[in-house]
Structure 1
Amino acid sequence: MHVHVNAATSVDGKLSSRRREQIKISGDNDFARVDEIRANSDAVLVGVGTVLADDPQLALDASKHVAAREARGESPHPARVVADSRARTPVDARILNDVAETYVLVSEAAPADRIDTLEAAGATVVVAGDERVSFPEAFESLEVEGVERLMVEGGGEVIFSLFSDELVDELTLYVGSMVIGGRDAPTLADGEGFTEQFPRLSLRDVERVDDGVLLTYDC
C-alpha cells in the first residue's frame, strides 16, 4: 500500500488553533490540488478527532474527477476511513453517509454496542489492535479490500502514529503564510513525540502555491 500524507500548517507548524477549530490555511489552488490527490486515491483516512471537530464528508469537489473515476470503472468517490480506537464516531456524522463506502478502524477495547451501532449505520468496522488501533494490522485488512493508494489527511495523532510505524511513503505539506501559535494547538505530528531515531525525509520538490509553499517529501 502507498500511504500519502497531505496536510496544511501555519509557518509555526500548527494544523489549527488551540480551540481545534477548522482554519483556512491554504487557498483555491491548493484545494484543487488536494481534490486531485483524493481522486487518485482508493481511500482517504482521518482520525476520529477530525470527524468530531470538523464533520468532514471527504467526497470529491470537482465533477471532472468523479467522471474520470467512473470512466476508469471505479466508484465515484474514494472510500472514507476513520481511525477510531473506541468507536466514538457519531452515527449522524457526514462521513457515514451513502456518498461513498466507509471503514471505521477500531481496537479490541471498543464497546461492542458501539461497533454494532456503526455497522447498522452502514460502516464496515475493522478491528485491529488491543487498546489503540494497530495501523499495520488495519492496513493489511484494507489492502484485502482493494485499497492500494491511501491518502491521509490527519490529524496530528494519526500522522505521528503512521511515522512511528514507518508506514508513510510520501508527504505533501502546504505551509501557509500565517502564525497560529499556542502550546496546546495541534501540530503536524503530535502523539508522544520522538526522542531518538527521528524519521528522516528526502525533500523532492518545493513549489509556491497561492500565498504559501508546497513541500513534497519522499519518506
Structure 2
Amino acid sequence: MHVVVNAAMSADGKLSSRRREQIAISGEADFDRVDRLRADSDAVVVGVGTVLADDPHLTVKDETLREKRRESDRPANPARVVVDSSGRTPTDAAILDDAATTYVCLSEAASVERRAALADSAELVTAGEERVDLLRAFATLQEQGLEQVMVEGGGELIFSLFDAGLVDELRVFIGSKIIGGRDAPTLADGEGFVTEFPSLDLESVDRLDDGVVLTWRVADR
C-alpha cells in the first residue's frame, strides 16, 4: 500500500483556526490538483474529527476524471475511509451516501448500538482495543484492494500515521495566510515526537495560486 498525506496549511503551519472551522487556504488551481489526486487514488482517508467539523463528501468533482476512472473499470469515485475509534460518525454524514463505498475503522470500544447504526451504510473494520490500530486497519483495507491511499486529515490522524510508519509521501500546499493560535490544529498534532523524528526527502517545489506545493518522500520508507 502506498499512503500519500495531502494537506493545505497556512504560512504558519495551521490547518484551520482555533475554532476548527473550515478556512479557504488555497484556491481553484489547488482544488483541481486535489481532485486529480483523489481520482488517482483507490481510497480517501480522514479522521472522525474532520467528518464532524467539515462533513466532507470526498468525491471526485470533475466529471471527466470520473469518466476516466469508469473507462479503466474502476468506480467513479474512490472508496472513503473514516478512522473513528468509538463510532462517532453521524449516520447522516455526507461521507456515508451511496456515491462510493465507505469503510469506517472502529476499535473494540465502539458500542453495539453505534456499530449497528453505521453498518447500514458502511463497511466496518474493527482493529484495536481502545483506539484504532492503524497497522491492522490498513492491512485489512489493503486486502480489499486499496493500494493507492490518499489521507486528507486531520492533524491527529496524520501524526498517528507517521507514528505508525505508514506514510510514504507528503504533499502540502502552503498558502499566504497567517492564522495563529496555540490551540489551532497543525499538520501533525497528537502527542508529538521527542526522539526518532520522521525524516523527509524533498522531491519538488511548485508555485500554485498564491502559495507553493511541497512534495516529500518519507526518507526511511
Mark yes or no: TM-score above 0.5. yes
Given residue 82 of structure 2, which amino acid in structure 1 is its aligned partner? V
AA of the residue aligned to 1:47: G
Report the equivalent of 1:217.
Answer: 216
CA distance in 2, matches of 1:146, 1:153: 20
* 1:62 aligns to 2:62 (yes or no): yes
Partner of 2:38: 38
Instruction: Tell me the CA shift for residue 12 of structure 1.
Output: 0.7
Name the residue aligned to 1:168. Answer: 167
Cα shift at 1:113: 1.1
Q: Paired residue for 2:156?
A: 157
Instruction: Say yes or no: does 1:182 pair with 2:205.
Output: no
2:33 alignment partner, SS class: helix
Separation in 2 of the partners of 1:39 and 1:210?
A: 21
Unaligned runs of 5+ in 2: none
Q: Summarize deviations over 1:115-152 as a string: whole Å, max 9, x none.
A: 111002x1001000111111100011101111000000
Structure 2 residue matching 1:90: 3-state secondary structure: coil
Letter in 1 for 2:9: T
Following the alignment from structure 1 to structure 2, what is the Cα–Cα distance between the partners of residues 98 and 79?
11
- Equivalent-residue separation in structure 2 for 1:214 and 1:150 (angstroms): 19
Shift of 1:57: 0.5
1: CA distance, partners of 2:51 / 2:217 = 27
User: For residues 127-142 of structure 1, what are the structure 2 equivalents within 5 Å?
Assistant: 127-142=126-141
Match of 2:5 in 1: 5
Give the 3-state SS of the residue equivalent to 1:130 in structure 2.
coil
RMSD: 0.5
**SS class of match (2:165):** coil
SS of equivalent to 2:8: strand
* AA in 1 matched with 2:177: M
Q: After the TM superposition, which segments of 4 or more aligned residues of structure 1 sit over 2 Å from their partners?
A: none
Partner of 1:107: 107
Secondary structure, counterpart of 1:69 in structure 2: helix
Q: Distance in 1 between matches of 2:39 and 2:133?
A: 26
Structure 1 equivalent of residue 124 of structure 2:
125
- CA displacement at 1:186 relative to structure 2: 0.3
Partner residue of 2:76?
Answer: 76
Inter-partner Cα distance in structure 1 for 2:58 and 2:8: 16
1:26 is paired with a residue whose SS is coil
Distance apart, 1:203 and its partner CA: 0.3
Q: Which residue of 2 aligns with 1:15?
A: 15
Q: TM-score, normalised by structure 1?
A: 0.99
CA separation in 2, counterparts of 1:119 and 1:131? 19
Q: Which amino acid aligns with 1:204?
A: E
Deviation string 1:146-173 (CA, Å, 9 cap, x unpaired) is 1000000000000000000110001000
Residue identity matched to 2:97:
N
Cα shift at 1:179: 0.2
Shift of 1:72: 0.1
Count of residues paired in the alignment = 218
- The DSSP-based 3-state class of the residue aligned with 1:182 is coil
Shift of 1:112: 1.2
The separation in 1 between residues aligned to 2:111 and 2:159, in whole angstroms, is 25
Q: Which runs of 5+ in 1 are unaligned?
A: none
